[in-house]
Amino acid sequence: MRYSIEKISEIIEGKAYLANPSCEIGALLTDSRSLGSPAETLFFAISTSDGDGHNYVSQLYEHGVRNFVVERAEVMEHRPDGNFIVVENSLNALQSLAAYRRSQFHFPVVAITGSQGKTMVKEWLYELLRNKYRIARSPRSYNSQIGVALSLWEIGEEHNLARIEAGVSTTGEMERLEAMIRPTVAVVTNVGSEHDEGFSSREEKMREKLRLARRSSVIVFPAGDDELRNAVGRYVPADVKRREVEIGLDEIVGAELPPVPYPADVLMCLAVAEVLGVKRAEVETELKQLTSINTRTSVIEGVNNCTLIIDGYTSDFSSLAPALDFMLRRSRDARKRTLIISDIDGIETREQYCHLSRLLQEKSTLRLIGVGERISSCEGCFEGIDTHFFRNTDELLLHLSQGDFENETILIKISDESGCRQIVDLLEASRHQTVEEIDLNALAHNFKFFKKKLSAVTKTVAMVKASGYGTGSYEVAKTLQDCGADYLAVAVQDEGVDLRRAGIRMPIIVLNPSVVNYKAIFLNNLEPEVYSIEEASELIREGERLGIAGHPVHVKLDTGMHRLGFTPEQLPQLIELLKSQDVLKPVSVFSHLCVADEPAKDDYTARQFSIFDSCTEQLQSAFPHKIIRHLLNTSGIVRFPEHQYDMVRIGIGLYGIKTLYDGSEDDLLPVASLRSVIISIKEWPEGTTIGYGQRGVLRHKSRIATVTIGYADGLDRHFGNGAISLWVNGTLCPTVGNVCMDAVMIDVTDARCKVGDVVEIFGPHVPIETLSNARGTIPYEILTSVSPRVKRVYFRE
């Protein structure tokens, strides 16, 4: 179902300026990076804490978009052939359009909310009912104020059931979602501790989630939670039918459910099916075929300078577009983009595969490798794309080798888990069993944690020095760029050059630029810190030789760290030098707080603030243009919000490591996890010695496991001989004997484990602070010590 732009202007009640009123709209867009078909796209310029959509109108116009919903009429200037609808609030307009779209359909709509399990219930419900209904569903976790609206837009006349996921993080959000969705059946999977920070109490959270059911016919929720049942009685109208689902241990054990990790979610799905009139006996076949849903997208280094993106989410058309968007954003400049995909659920006809071909071209996918009978039979549909087709994974592995892939971003979306693993094994660069996993969702969460503490106009510098504190700079930088960071900061020039070569285009500050080759600073548009007269003079001389003018630099003040920077006495000489030339332009001035995380030394920090205020006032008065001021670090952002100035620098807190232990940073999430595997388990009698130097002496009969991580991977030798314990299947197991170069031994006598089981060195179960405390150092050192030979895997849920 398509609407003309004129019809949409009537629906959202905006002031229309239409050059082509009959233009039909087929796609809604809120993120400029996801542009597909420009001619049929309507862009909503939405202003959020992360950015302003109006800033992208010009770029989208250049790429062929002609339909816009905006809040500011001035963006229409010099665009006479555009269709513009001016509204008071673009998000409200988007939601009004979504609500209207929903009102045009009169079949059941199932809305799912809860602290956990929403996506699992949504996907398994689809698997159970796909042969009974033509189902529309929200892609991935499109459960936000924008995501729900976009999901509702995708409902078409070909559907007769819709499943929409609804997520809230604070009060007031569910009312807006419910007004759009108007669910027939409301499902509450559970109410846990997630997003507690957005609510004053569990009661308030339950009341908010239950608003979803206020106009539904039925509410489905788990039995056994008396608080939730009582809340349903208080906040859900009496005429809404209740369907409580027994999910106790007896029900789970006796239900003959498939071997999946969340059987309670299966019981919830069966209850919803029953509400819709589908008995369990009618879905027995589908029930037996249920498998765990992998919601993770991982990014790893591939062979021959390739980047691999492994999307384990459902293999259907609705999940493909978001995956292609992710590939497009992660693809480095001038790289080929390749999709390796198996037969797609729900796509059966040539017409549908032709539609897929158009999507691939819209997303700039240059090569398609299809695996499966159906997709291979539609080879002729993919014109304009380099294609290769194979009947199965074995055939692909027989005909393709590592040499067929070079300088590419490769999206792997194979439904068969074994086949996917075989393809990844072929293409991944490192097979080291020790892995550092970097959670990009947690990184984004932590950035937003600090961003919420800032005023709307305060800019941010995201610190990615030391290769993202050891987690890897490119993926981290790309994620922070997507989150809306204004600057990145690296320690040395080479780190900045590497980011430029990888395609990062946002401003990059180089904090320690003292190098022989200043030319690279200028050629790569890196912005150096200026901390001495000698360094500034060298930059000016090199810039004059290259014909540089107005290159941005960041003036470093020494207000008390006594490491680098200009003292108040040196500032007049710097001002005189800068005003005598036109190579360098001071765009910011900053300093470092040295004891912001030590409340007992706040008097010293106050003196730093005072010196900074005096020096920055002096510097600013010497120049007509605005010079950005920034002083706060991770601790300072939390403790001294009144000193935000114009910009702040977020460092170790981005990576989920606390600098304060008073509860103020408890909502930070760990970004990095270091894991390895057990490669051997042996039983030894009392008195046996373990490892080099016979340092480990067993005091009783023990099971000793060898784990494939050593000091060459970053596990300090001081961690041997019981100094730390590693987490194995819920049990902390102490080290035994010395740490070796490539291995460490642990006592697994009390653990239930076998060869091949995962061992966590640090991560969700072993805080990195545990290791730093054992070593007598700081978490920074542990995080940055992980060896380059350890494989990095970046993932998002």
Active-site residue set: 465, 692
Rounded to 5 degrees, φ, ψ at 607 are: -65, -35
Gap between the Cα atoms of 378 and 776, Å rounded: 62
> Around Cβ 687, how many Cβ atoms within 10 Å?
10
Gap between the Cα atoms of 136 and 144, Å rounded: 17
> Around Cβ 81, how many Cβ atoms within 10 Å?
8
Helix ranges (DSSP H) in 220-308: 226-235, 249-253, 263-275, 284-288
Gap between the Cα atoms of 336 and 406, Å rounded: 9
Gap between the Cα atoms of 150 and 97, Å rounded: 10
Strand 109-113 relative to strand 67-70, pairing: unpaired
Q: At CA 454, angle to CA 452 and CA 455, rounded to 5?
A: 115
What's 64's DSSP letter?
T
Residue 592 burial by Cβ neighbours in a 10 Å radius (0-12, 13-18, 19+): buried
One-letter amino acid identity for 628?
I
- 8 A C-beta contact, residue 591 and residue 614: no
- 8 A C-beta contact, residue 181 and residue 109: yes
State both tokens at 279.
């008995």
> Around Cβ 551, how many Cβ atoms within 10 Å?
20
Strand 435-439 relative to strand 672-684, pairing: antiparallel
State both tokens at 534.
């000698």
| Secondary structure (DSSP) of 179-194 | HHH--SEEEE----ST
Gap between the Cα atoms of 381 and 358, Å rounded: 9
One-letter amino acid identity for 177?
L
Which residue from 554, 559, 495 is spatially nearest to 527, judged by alpha carbons? 554
